[in-house]
Structure 1
Amino acid sequence: MSGVGPIEPGEGTHAWDTHPAEPPAGTPAPPRTPPARLRRLLSDHRRAALAALTTVGLLAACALLYVTRPQEREPAIPEPPFPAQVVDVTYVGEHTVPPGTRPHTLAFEVLLSVDSGPPVTVTRVSQPYAGVSLTSAPRAPFRTKAGSARKIVVTMHVAECGKVPENAGLPFIDVTLRNKRAIQVQSFILGPRYAHDLSRALQVACSNDST
């Protein structure tokens, strides 16, 4: 019988032969997969680099925000008040002159109070009449704290009756005040009762015109 039957495989060409065929000459070799330890090192390096970049970005954003945001200023500490703004002097009344005091001497009591702020020091107490000298008890300088008052005895001695008025219309005393803020000379008008008492005392002192 003639005909063409199935082609018999040649030697070494069996169908169940599982060895891969050799690549043609000139074909580039496939990339080699790095070992697992090297892959871990590369992964750790990438994570560290990403974390560093993230940190740098956050720092840059914070710096930009700090520069562009308006800086908050500390509240300014208010200055203490001027002494003349917190001191008041009021007339209390006549003061009895001790026995043995030289003639033509008269005395009055006033009350000095400090409302607020730092303590106020009185460095001088004076009056406007050239023919009258003045002293105070306590003697200046003396200090008064805020929220308190001090009674002052003002003693006057008439040295020249010709240089004092017969009737004191609006008599005042000058008080030099000092605190942390400033030094001021303040004139205090003590009111009609003081004007009446002072005028009467001056008339009595100069009634015999013996000065």
Structure 2
Amino acid sequence: MTGIGPVEPGADTRVRKAPPPRPRGRLARYCERHRRTLLASAAALVVLAGGGYLYASRPQPRPAPAPPYPSQAVDLVYGAPATGSPGATSGAYSFTVLLSVRSGPPVTVTRLTQPYDGLSVTSSPAAPFQTKSHSTRKIIVTLRVTECEKAPRNPGLPFLDVTLRNARAIEAHSFILGARYAQDLSRALQVACSNDSR
């Protein structure tokens, strides 16, 4: 038997690949010419869109808690009668109070008053003054009798009106200084008004 090998192609029998059809229209020709640039631009847009989505959907940080209202962060405590304080003359009663700021931002005392028409009030340091957080400030308050007829003879629960300001709010708050303050104030008013004909 004679060996027959594989059939070999003859001339012009190989299949030729036809060139791809040329795009029609201006836009198609432009896209064909700049295919790499357009693909790179499309990839960049996809990356940017993905990054924008990730940025927009990231977890938001929690806002910092608001500082406390000034009246919630401050203590005002009666100290004792002040002897030899400036302005402590006849008809005046000076005493110390301790103002403590427990937490939050610094607190400014913008005004210090009392409720009785027959008395005026001054303080050292004079308002406005500021007290830092986690600190205590000693204040000397002087009550001066202006009219004995309008001054209380036996105040039961006398208080001081203090206007406080911090980064959150401005508040007017009344502080009751306790029974010891009431007794000391009552004695001082009796001495100041003892010569009154009332």
Q: TM-score, with normalisation over the residues of structure 2?
A: 0.73
Aligned partner of 2:61 among 49, 71, 74: 74
Q: How does 1:96-135 map to 2 (within 5 A)?
A: 96-97=83-84, 101-135=88-122
**1:129 positional shift:** 0.4
Q: How does 1:123-202 map to 2 (within 5 A)?
A: 123-202=110-189
Corresponding residue number in structure 1 for 2:13: 29
Q: 1:108 to 1:64 in 2, by over 3 A?
A: closer
CA distance in 2, matches of 1:78, 1:114: 18
**1:164 positional shift:** 1.4
- Give structure 1 regions of 4+ aligned residues with deviation exceeding 4 angstroms: 20-23, 97-102
CA distance in 1, matches of 2:144, 2:151: 11
Q: 1:99 to 1:80 in 2, by over 3 A?
A: closer
CA distance in 2, matches of 1:21, 1:185: 109
Unpaired segments ≥5 residues, structure 2: 18-35
Aligned partner of 1:203 among 183, 190, 196: 190
Q: 1:31 to 1:95 in 2, by over 3 A?
A: same
CA contact (8 A) 1:120 1:178 kept: yes
**1:73 positional shift:** 1.1
Q: TM-score, with normalisation over the residues of structure 1?
A: 0.69
| SS of the residue 2:149 aligns to | helix
Which amino acid in 1 is paired with 2:145?
Answer: V
Which amino acid in 1 is paired with 2:148?
Answer: C
**1:98 positional shift:** 5.0
Q: Which has the larger radius of gyration?
A: 1
Unpaired segments ≥5 residues, structure 1: 1-14, 34-48
CA distance in 1, matches of 2:63, 2:181: 43
**1:131 positional shift:** 0.6
CA contact (8 A) 1:167 1:199 kept: yes
What is the CA deviation profile of residues 136-181 of structure 1, one whole-angstrom value per residue up to 9, with x for unaligned ones? 0011111100011011111011011111121110000011111111
% identity of equivalent residues:
52
